[in-house]
Amino acid sequence: MKTVTTCLGSLNNTIIYEKFDEYPADVLTRKEIHTQHNTDWSVDSHYKIANQLGVFNTSLKTNQAVVEQHLIDRQVVMLRCIGEGSVKRKQGKELTLLVPGNVYVSYHPCAASCEAYNIGTTQSSFILLSARFYTQLLAQESWISNNALYQNVSQQIAMPLENKGIPLGFHFQQLVKEVLRCNWPNCGQMKLVELKLKELFLQLHYQDHFTATQPGTNCPVIEEKINSASAYLSENYSSPPTIKALSRVVLLNENTLKKEFKKRHGKPIRRYVIELRMKKARQLLQVHRVNDVASLLGYKSVPHFINTFKKYYGQTPKQFYRPK
């Protein structure tokens, strides 16, 4: 994989231009780009890059529709996920809406130009792997022999962006964030990336092959989505999403989400969030004042926090924790 170029608007507005061959194979180099074009658009991009691998997280703000173009001159597997906003991907003459929360996979056996149309504020993550890196990474996996993507890459058959994404966006975004935050020694970072990618490709493989089961039995797809919902709430308890917003994150019908979540945890989503906040409050009160804890947990009203805490523990925060 030689180069990847990301352009906005026109080729005169090149945002990212990287020659992968200039980087060592066993070292991930961290890069950041912050740029603005008058008042038309601004871009913040954080990424790590090695000889045959790139992990990118990009936020784009624009007041009009903007064309984003990725120009890639060698065999590459691309995984992309939209975390926020409206993005449409161009395939031939057609535009495909990339649904937030879905992971989209494609393979390009030769030079490729991938265009996307961004409107408003968008946040997206994508991973680029050379075909060689991809096949070597997964060659010994027991499940890989009947994987469509692997077969296409092995035979150098193009696999354009699928119209249907795979609902593993939360896991994908977490992988990207973990890789970008990691400050381990270089050999440790590469090992982490390889392990996380193997896990991700395994999840993509089985998620894509799951079919709905008969009524009355457990559906692995729904179980995975409830796991994703629980993990998302654990990360965002200080600013919890509405049930409608959470259903969009995990791509599950609101009624099914509420029913299956309560079946799994024995309590409704709202109660689950309260418990997360209260357990965290108990820890924070050891080092922070009540007002600060309320703010850290996302409560706009300190009295509301105190009342909730008292209902949960039977004592006010000050009664519960009295420094000696």
Mind listing the pLDDT tens digit for each residue in 199-230? Answer: 999 988 887 765 333 344 356 667 778 888 88
Q: Which residue's entry shows tokens 């005169």?
A: 12
d(CA 260, CA 250): 13
Query: Which whole-number Å values give the CA distances from 204 to 163, 177, 226, in the listed order?
Result: 15, 18, 16
Structure confidence at residue 111 (pLDDT): 65
Query: Which whole-number Å values give the CA distances from 165 to 158, 162, 193, 276, in the listed order?
Result: 17, 7, 22, 31
Structure confidence at residue 122 (pLDDT): 86
Residue 49 pairs in a beta bridge with 29, 54
* Mean pLDDT of the region 306-311: 94
Structure confidence at residue 162 (pLDDT): 61
Are residues 264 and 322 in contact, defined by beta-carbon separation less than 8 angstroms? no
* Mean pLDDT of the region 231-254: 87
d(CA 67, CA 10): 8
**311 or 18, which is more confident?**
311
Identity of residue 149 = L
Query: Which whole-number Å values give the CA distances from 257 to 42, 80, 215, in the listed order?
Result: 36, 25, 16
Structure confidence at residue 215 (pLDDT): 41
Q: Tell me: pLDDT of 321 over 80.
A: no
Query: Which whole-number Å values give the CA distances from 241 to 238, 244, 272, in the listed order?
Result: 10, 8, 13
What count of residues does the chain have? 324
Residue 45 pairs in a beta bridge with 33, 58
Structure confidence at residue 112 (pLDDT): 63
Q: Tell me: pLDDT of 272 over 70.
A: yes
d(CA 16, CA 8): 10
**50 or 108, which is more confident?**
50
Identity of residue 205 = H
Residue 34 pairs in a beta bridge with 44
Q: Tell me: pLDDT of 81 over 70.
A: yes
Residue 236 CB-density burial (10 A; 0-12 exposed, 13-18 middle, 19+ buried): middle
Mind listing the pLDDT tens digit for each residue in 183-200? Answer: 988 889 999 999 999 999
Mind listing the pLDDT tens digit for each residue in 6-48? Answer: 554 443 466 677 888 888 988 999 999 888 877 777 889 999 9
What is the three-state SS of the chain? Answer: CCEEEEEECEEEEEEEEEEHHHCCCCCCEEEEEEEEECCCEEEEEEEEEECCEEEEEEEEEECCCEEEEEEECCCEEEEEEEEEEEEEEEECCEEEEECCCCEEEEEECCCEEEEEEEEEEEEEEEEEEEHHHHHHHHCCCCCHHHCHHHHHHHCCCCECCCCCCECCHHHHHHHHHHHHHCCCCHHHHHHHHHHHHHHHHHHHHHHHHCCCCCCCCCCHHHHHHHHHHHHHHHHCCCCCCCHHHHHHHHCCCHHHHHHHHHHHHCCCHHHHHHHHHHHHHHHHCCCCCHHHHHHHCCCCCHHHHHHHHHHHHCCCHHHHCCCC
Mean pLDDT of the chain: 82
